[in-house]
Amino acid sequence: MFNFNNEYKDIIGTIFLALSIIMLGYMLVSPFNQMIIHIDEYFTISVLNFPITDLAYVIAHDVHPPLYYLLLKIASDILTIFGIGFDKIFIYKIMTIIPYAIILILSVTKIKNEYGYFTAGLFAFSMAVMSEFLVYYSILRMYSWAALFVVLAFLYLRDVIDKNDRKYWALLTIFSVLAAYTHYFAAIPIVCIYICLFIYLLLNDKEKLKYWFISAICGIILFAPWIFSLTSQLTSVSEGYWIPEITFNNIIGFLGYFVTPTRNFYTCIFSVVIFVAIIVYTATIFNRIDKKDRFYILCGLIAYLGTIIIGTGVSIMVRPIMVDRYLLPSAAILWFAISFMIGKIEARKEFIIVFALVLIMMVAGISQLNSSNDYWGTVNMHREAFFDQISQDNDSIVINDGGNRMFYMEFSNKTDMYLLSDQYELYGYNLSELHDTFDFKEISKDELPKLVKENPDKNIYIICRNTDFDKHIKTTPVIDKGNPIILKVA
């Protein structure tokens, strides 16, 4: 058995880094950056209409923490203060791509310097093409930032193990807290990391346990200001939430989600089988890897599986809270652990076998990119075209279902916008308090027939989550796929 020449690994890693830079370029020019492709993006846009001083209060009435929205609001306010003209949708989307640019910078600096070109390149490329990473770099949601903060915490986890420097403990703490303030399912892999670190230090380096306790306590203190909002959100979720029941197919999909979306069920099964084969094969060489490296690899695996176990367990025993995209942050550190592990294999045969198996998984994931883009793009392109059409139509009336917790004000240039007042509050405010922020009129379902009768020449549309309007008015679906659906009053 002889060592595999590291020059070959460097060449492979360099190729992956070059491909990653190309992927960043594609993100910047992707058609997805010119459109809204996810229902929750409308929520993001609508809450950013509020002043920054009200934003935490508004977000507290949703089910997520506030950091992502604050980042977008600060960026847009800075551009406004300096009088810089900009398309705010495009700027918001660029803000969502920035985490990948930072991951690339980390890959060609810290990761490359400490772990080599191969680990840096494979990790950077996986962050662009695996599962739904590519789509979520152009969606106005917090997943890319959550993944970035979890990755940074995981990188500095290794530094606190290797080095006696308090600054690395501080960085681990800061990025862990930022992850928790970005998405609650980014906090779960962080908790898994801290549990793994505690066990490792207890067994191998008890002197550092005092720093672990200081870090954990500081993290709790820094997150404490949001605890009351979190408690309120948990109460809201326990009373009713949109996430469906967990099924066996969901669980299989979760296990394979780090490679491909769960809707590609057979690709998920294939990916899980290949990954199990990788684990079984590498188990035979695991003891030859340095003890710290073994811990680091296992920690990445436990963080991903732990997130699935905790999310699925709560969903089954309490209330469904788990959807596949919530795994993106933990999937990021699993891919770093995979990239790190392969980079540590020195024997030529073993490297080729494991790398080939990982390539098979990557090809399986990449093969689904086009179908994933079609899934996100086709219905949404029709929806955006519809919104563009009615926003310029003086003869249109749009009625929005307040249950969506969002407005479509970006498209109401010439359209009369109504909000169903059967929901008495929105974003934590009474509807009467929102008229200064949004231009809309209130209407109840019982008043719909009168509105239709008084506007016989108008095109009247309803944007909603369900079609429960039959007992009030007759409607026909304009767009009945995806969420929200759009009805036209017949």
DSSP 143-176: HHHHHHHHHHHHHHHHHHHH---HHHHHHHHHHH
Sheet holding 441-443, edge to edge: 441-443, 416-420, 396-400, 459-464, 485-489, 475-479
Residues β-bridged to residue 485: 464
Question: Using only C-alpha atoms, what is the Rg of the chain?
Answer: 24
Percent of residues, the chain, with pLDDT higher than 70 = 93
pLDDT score, position 409 = 55
pLDDT of residue 1: 41
Strands 459-464, 485-489: pairing is antiparallel
SS3 347: strand
Q: Which two tokens stand for residue 480?
A: 């009945």
pLDDT of residue 336: 98
> For residue 317, is pLDDT > 70?
yes
What confidence score (pLDDT) does residue 299 get?
A: 97
Residues 42-47 have a mean pLDDT of 86
Give the DSSP letter string of 169-214. Answer: HHHHHHHHHHHHHH-HHHHHHHHHHHHHHHHHHHHH-GGGHHHHHH
More confident residue, 323 or 382: 323
pLDDT tens, residue by residue, 323-376: 999 999 999 999 999 999 999 998 889 999 999 999 999 999 898 877 777 777
pLDDT confidence tier of residue 107, bands split at 50, 70 and 90: very high
| Confidence grade of residue 195 (pLDDT, cut at 50, 70, 90) | very high
185, amino acid identity:
F
* Average pLDDT of the chain to the nearest whole number: 88
Q: What is the pLDDT of residue 303?
A: 97
Residue 468: what pLDDT? 72
pLDDT band at 33, cuts 50/70/90?
Answer: confident
Cα 199 to Cα 179, 193, 212, 385: the distances in Å are 22, 10, 11, 55
Between 398 and 380, name the one with better pLDDT.
398
Say what the pTM is: 0.93
Q: Six-digit token pair at 253?
A: 């999909």
How confident is the model at residue 268, as a pLDDT? 93
Would the pLDDT of 4 be above 70?
no
pLDDT of residue 2: 46
pLDDT at 380 over 60: yes
What is the average pLDDT across 297-304? 97
Confidence label for 103 from pLDDT (cuts 50, 70 and 90):
very high
pLDDT digits 0-9 by tens, 123-174: 999 999 998 898 899 889 999 999 999 999 999 999 999 998 999 999 999 9
pLDDT for position 85: 65
Under the banding of pLDDT at 50, 70 and 90, the label for residue 180 is: very high
Backbone angles phi, psi at 475, to 5 degrees: -130, 160
Q: Summarize pLDDT for 199-241 with one digit per residue, the tens.
A: 999 999 999 999 999 999 999 999 999 999 998 888 877 666 6
Residue-level pLDDT at 405 = 56
Q: What is the arithmetic mean of pLDDT over 456-477?
A: 82
CB 249 within 8 A of CB 121: no
The pLDDT value recorded for residue 435 is 84
How much is the average pLDDT of 274-284? Answer: 93
Environment class of 404 (CB within 10 Å of its CB; exposed 0-12, middle 13-18, buried 19+) = buried
pLDDT on residue 224: 96
**Amino acid making up residue 173:** T
Give pLDDT, residue 193.
98
Alpha carbon distance 118, 24 (integer Å): 19
